[in-house]
Amino acid sequence: MNANPSSPPTLRDVAEAAGVHTATASRALNPKTRQQISAETARRVMRAAESLGYQPNSVARSLKTSRSATVGLVIPDLTNPLFPPIVRGVESVLESEGYNVWIVNTDNDAERERAKIESLRSRQVEGLIVATARLEHPLLRQLHEQGVTMVLVNRQVEDLPIPAVTGDDATGITLAVRHLAELGHTSIAHLAGPLGTSTGRLRARAFRHAVRDHELRDDPALTVECAYWSEHDGAAAMRSLLDDRRDFTAVVAGNDLIALGCYDVFAERGLSCPSDISVIGFNDMPFLDKLRPPLTTVAVPHHELGAEAARMLLDCIGDPSRPARSLLLPATLVVRGSTAPPITH
Amino acid sequence: MNANPSSPPTLRDVAEAAGVHTATASRALNPKTRQQISAETARRVMRAAESLGYQPNSVARSLKTSRSATVGLVIPDLTNPLFPPIVRGVESVLESEGYNVWIVNTDNDAERERAKIESLRSRQVEGLIVATARLEHPLLRQLHEQGVTMVLVNRQVEDLPIPAVTGDDATGITLAVRHLAELGHTSIAHLAGPLGTSTGRLRARAFRHAVRDHELRDDPALTVECAYWSEHDGAAAMRSLLDDRRDFTAVVAGNDLIALGCYDVFAERGLSCPSDISVIGFNDMPFLDKLRPPLTTVAVPHHELGAEAARMLLDCIGDPSRPARSLLLPATLVVRGSTAPPITH
């Protein structure tokens, strides 16, 4: 169990031997928190600790007795259907380990985010799972410097070693552009999400690379940034593209809501999807198969994103010295009715 | 300001004079909590208290110094798009009064609900807004008996004086049945929500009354109960109706998700909506206008439901002796493409 027989066994070794998370092992070994887990699990962990000759570090132990068995989950916009499956994924893992999850919704507002995270911290949550990250995020930098245990989900920050679980955005966009190229489209627009978010920036970059790889029209004016990941901003971006009389036959939208904003504009302008313009979304949020037309999109396993973020947080709680790492979950293309070959005039 | 000049002014009188909620007035008058609200509001409240000659009750005061400025919001299923707008409505009111909102998701599980509410209470939330109520709800009964400040939103309990804010379900269903009757339908099915919830029971009752009022076919076998408010259970109920070879040309679904489950079954069975079967949903959740066909539904102002529940909770926090009352918000019918006259064979 212990990779290096000359070094003393660690909490992680005990956890592995007992087949539980380090966070669970830590609670099992602490009389003050033992009742938070099942008696059977506690026994298994104590037996493993005994057989390995594990000696708990008393400083670390004293830090851990203030455990609240609560984790905060920070969501930017609960009305975006992308987030509820992430929430459920997070809960499925944390609840089975005896944790409660408190969710706060920041509505994309930095002031609100600060107040809510402060309120969670003042109630001693053991860690945060954060879905609001922007590339430049002074608050997250500050929390990181203060040693707050955090995992990012869906988005990342720049230049900060905070663990993150995200979808493979670059591959997803590459699949979307390839699908349109194979249908015969040569002039494709991109309605990018906010470029201050890792998802917005990564998808926009991947779009540019894919367009060049397929030798399609490479025109920076065919990429328009949306201020928010919303139907409203997607519609505004599509209107501005159409008003500029840009020539394009397909759109890769930064996410599904932006794609739905395009649907609204097509209805306003008497355009037909996919015969006039093909559209691809991103996320595969619920109900897309029932839309008119059903939306072709990039699917990301959001429930799994939440579950993996929760597992990573448990690892961090159990072993705060663990180096940060990033986990990328695979994206796939779901072809539905919103993409078709371009009409040749 | 003070209705009865012979009785001493109350906190409510001060709040009214200052144009703020009683909860805000209470915080303004307490030096320990004053910094939670804006300096300008605090000054306005203190001036009002002075001019009215208000004397705070020191017992009540001491009870109130443990204020956490936090409220818990208990949601049964965050993936149901009905709830995010309620969450935002709750937050819009509570945040402007300086409160934080912690959201917990129970996934319709009584054990989970108990654990999460316990965890919120152990962190001294000042009150709960509860969207999980079932007609018989032992946990809510127990919390009520323990004096927990609570407001129900969207659903009610039976025989317990807990304030509640709900949509006018009966009127909504009446409008739906009338619309179908006017189109010429005479045999209408109802896929009811869980009859252990006030929404499920009220809608099923209103359906029966409306069918009788319009002298339509009154057959109990045309009402099928769904175990949960979900697409999956809606689809199962629609399949059982079709398998029973019940004769009907229209369906009033208990909510939009149940209606979407019907869409799935129509696709499986080669039925066309609305030409073979008309469908009406309930809630007017997002994106229904973009479905194939766009879903006719009953709209309930969910943001307002949340906002009113939050206002009611602030009233209860400010004045715990206030009698419970119920607030009913109006429902309207939104006619879209899923309803049409029946085909006459």
Q: What is the pLDDT of residues B307-334, one digit of tens each?
A: 999 999 999 999 888 888 899 999 999 9
Interval B262-271 mean pLDDT:
97
What is the rounded distance in angstroms from the CA atom of residue A262 to the CA atom of residue A256? Answer: 10
**Does residue A22 lie within any of the structural domains?**
yes
Whether residue A133 is predicted with pLDDT greater than 70 in this model: the reply is yes
Are the beta carbons of A107 and B123 separated by less than 8 Å? no
| CA–CA distances in Å: residue B204 to residues B201, B211, B253, B281, B296 | 5, 11, 10, 13, 18
Q: Order the strands of the B223-225 sheet from edge to edge.
A: B223-225, B188-192, B250-253, B278-283, B296-299, B332-334
DSSP 8-state symbol, A76:
S
d(CA A342, nearest CA chain B) in Å: 23
Query: Quick check: helix, strand or coil at residue B96?
Result: helix
- ipTM of predicted complex: 0.75
Q: Are residues A58 and A130 in the same domain?
A: no
Q: Is residue B277 within 8 Å of B250, Cβ to Cβ?
A: yes
pLDDT, residue B56, reads 61
Q: Are residues B161 and B78 in the same domain?
A: yes
pLDDT, residue B25, reads 85
pLDDT, residue B287, reads 93
B interface with A, Cβ–Cβ below 8 Å:
69-70, 78-79, 81, 84-85, 87-88, 91, 95, 100-105, 107, 112, 115-116, 119-120, 123, 260, 263, 286-287, 290-294
Q: Are residues A222 and A285 in the same domain?
A: yes
Interval B86-92 mean pLDDT:
96
Q: Are residues B108 and B193 in the same domain?
A: no
Q: Are residues B174 and B293 in the same domain?
A: yes
**Does residue A344 lie within any of the structural domains?**
no
Q: Which of A64, A80, A96 is the last residue in one of the domains?
A: A64
d(CA B122, nearest CA chain A) in Å: 10
Chain B residue numbers with beta carbons less than 8 Å from the beta carbon of A123 are: 70, 123
For residue A8, report the phi and psi dihedrals to the nearest 5 degrees.
-65, 150
Q: Are residues B290 and B240 in the same domain?
A: yes
Whether residue A292 is predicted with pLDDT greater than 90 in this model: the reply is yes
B157: confidence class by pLDDT, cuts 50, 70, 90:
very high
Are the beta carbons of A101 and B104 separated by less than 8 Å? yes
Q: Are residues A110 and A220 in the same domain?
A: no
pLDDT, residue B345, reads 54
**Does residue A284 lie within any of the structural domains?**
yes
What is the rounded distance in angstroms from the CA atom of residue B12 to the CA atom of residue B17? Answer: 9
pLDDT, residue B55, reads 67
Whether residue A147 is predicted with pLDDT greater than 50 in this model: the reply is yes
| CA–CA distances in Å: residue B232 to residues A302, B29, B131, B227, B246 | 20, 52, 21, 10, 20
Interval A308-324 mean pLDDT:
91
- Considering the entire predicted model, what is its pTM? 0.79
- The identity of residue A250, as a single letter, is A
Closest chain B residue by Cα to residue A257: B287
A interface with B, Cβ–Cβ below 8 Å:
69-70, 78-79, 81, 84-85, 87-88, 91, 95, 100-105, 107, 112, 115-116, 119-120, 123, 260, 263, 286-287, 290-294
Q: Are residues A50 and A29 in the same domain?
A: yes
Q: What is the CATH number of the domain that holds B58?
A: 1.10.260.40
**Does residue B90 lie within any of the structural domains?**
yes
Of B70, B85, B105, the CB nearest to A103: B105
**Does residue A109 lie within any of the structural domains?**
yes
User: Can you tell me which residue has the tokens 């869409």?
Assistant: B263
Which site among A37, A74, A103 would you substitute to test the B interface, given the most B Cβ atoms closer than 10 Å to its Cβ?
A: A103
Q: Are residues A213 and A229 in the same domain?
A: yes
Whether residue B8 is predicted with pLDDT greater than 80 in this model: the reply is no
Domain count, chain A: 3
Whether residue A28 is predicted with pLDDT greater than 90 in this model: the reply is no
Closest chain A residue by Cα to residue B101: A104
Interval A139-148 mean pLDDT:
94
**Does residue A40 lie within any of the structural domains?**
yes
Whether residue B61 is predicted with pLDDT greater than 50 in this model: the reply is no
Q: How many of the other CB atoms lie within 10 Å of CB of A103?
A: 26
Q: Which residues contact B136 (CB under 8 A, 6 or more apart)?
A: B157, B158, B196
Least confident of A76-85, B10-19, B154-163, B249-258: B10-19
Q: Are residues A41 and A83 in the same domain?
A: no
Question: Which residue range forms the structural domain that includes residue B45?
Answer: 11-64
What is the rounded distance in angstroms from the CA atom of residue A2 to the CA atom of residue A23? Answer: 18
Interval A150-179 mean pLDDT:
96
For residue B192, report the phi and psi dihedrals to the nearest 5 degrees.
-75, 150
**Does residue A345 lie within any of the structural domains?**
no
Higher pLDDT residue, A26 or A345?
Answer: A26
Q: Are residues A87 and A141 in the same domain?
A: yes
Q: What is the CATH number of the domain that holds B257?
A: 3.40.50.2300
**Does residue A81 lie within any of the structural domains?**
yes
Q: Are residues A208 and A289 in the same domain?
A: yes
Q: Which of A42, A64, A86 is the last residue in one of the domains?
A: A64
Interval A272-284 mean pLDDT:
97
Higher pLDDT residue, B318 or B9?
Answer: B318
